[in-house]
Amino acid sequence: MQTEQKTALVIIDVQNDYFPGGRWALEGAEAAGERARQVLGRCREQGVPVFHVRHSAPQGSPLLEVGTWGADIHPCVTPDRGETVIVKTKPNSFLGTDLQIGLQEAGATHLFVVGMMTNNCVDSTVRGAVEMGYTCTVLHDACAAMAFEFQGESLTAAVVHSVFMAELAFAYGEVMSTQQWLNRMN
């Protein structure tokens, strides 16, 4: 494990639209949000820099529309004063943002990653981070995915989530449960 001064927590798109009552509620969003809250709390206790990433889509978008309640960061991970909030418009949290600058200023070389959606912004951001030289630990149960249909086959959110986490574990970083991570962070 990396030392504290070289780690950072990146919370990706834990926004209201992905929770019950939002425009695109993900299966397991509430449980993932609760685990993200636990991770955020431990990082705050240990002085790990925190970066909240919030997607902002143009007006008229089907979700995360700028200026709407759905685009707001969910209360389970409300940023504290002094924590960085990065606003993005692309799945990869590094594209067109100051995330890398903030991570460099924090001296971070290893990222703890939680968020939504596993199969889009989490995946894209982790891949981008590794390509930029960061190492990553993804907390799989603090992330949520959505179900898909492909060529007439229904893929449950659990299957989609598992496939993406398996690929991240295979080629892009460490993947573990929140409890394993909390035990390690003691």
Cα 172–175–180 angle (5° rounding)? 155
Q: Could you give the dihedral angle defined by the CA atoms of residues 153, 156, 158 and 163, in that order, rounded to the nearest 10 degrees?
A: 20
Residue 137 has pLDDT above 90, yes or no: yes
Each residue's pLDDT tens digit, 111-129:
999 999 999 999 999 999 9
Each residue's pLDDT tens digit, 34-67:
999 999 999 999 999 999 999 999 999 999 999 9
CB neighbours of 138 closer than 8 A, spacing ≥ 6? 113, 114, 122, 126, 165, 168, 169, 173, 174, 175, 176
What is the CB neighbour count within 10 angstroms for residue 47? 10
Q: Which residue carries 């709390």 as its tokens? A: 41
Asked if residue 96 lies in contact with residue 90, where contact means CB atoms within 8 angstroms, the answer is: yes
Residue 5 has pLDDT above 60, yes or no: no
| Percent of the chain whose predicted confidence (pLDDT) is above 90 | 97
**Domain coordinates of the chain in residue numbers?**
4-184
Q: At what angle do helices 123-131 and 157-171 cross, to 10 degrees?
A: 10
State the pTM of this model.
0.95
Type of residue numbered 102: G
Each residue's pLDDT tens digit, 88-107:
999 999 999 999 999 999 99
Q: Give the per-residue pLDDT at 186.
A: 86
Q: Which CATH architecture has domain 4-184?
A: 3-Layer(aba) Sandwich (3.40)
Q: Give the per-residue pLDDT at 3.
A: 43
| Percent of the chain whose predicted confidence (pLDDT) is above 70 | 97
DSSP states of 131-180: HTT-EEEEEEEEEEB--EEETTEEE-HHHHHHHHHHHHHHHT-EEE-HHH
DSSP states of 72-129: SBPGGGPPPTT-EEEEESSSSTTTTSSHHHHHHHHT--EEEEEEE-IIIIIHHHHHHH
Q: Which of 13, 91, 82 is nearest to 48 (CA)?
A: 82
DSSP three-state, residue 24:
coil
Torsion over CA: 111, 126, 14, 20 (sign):
negative
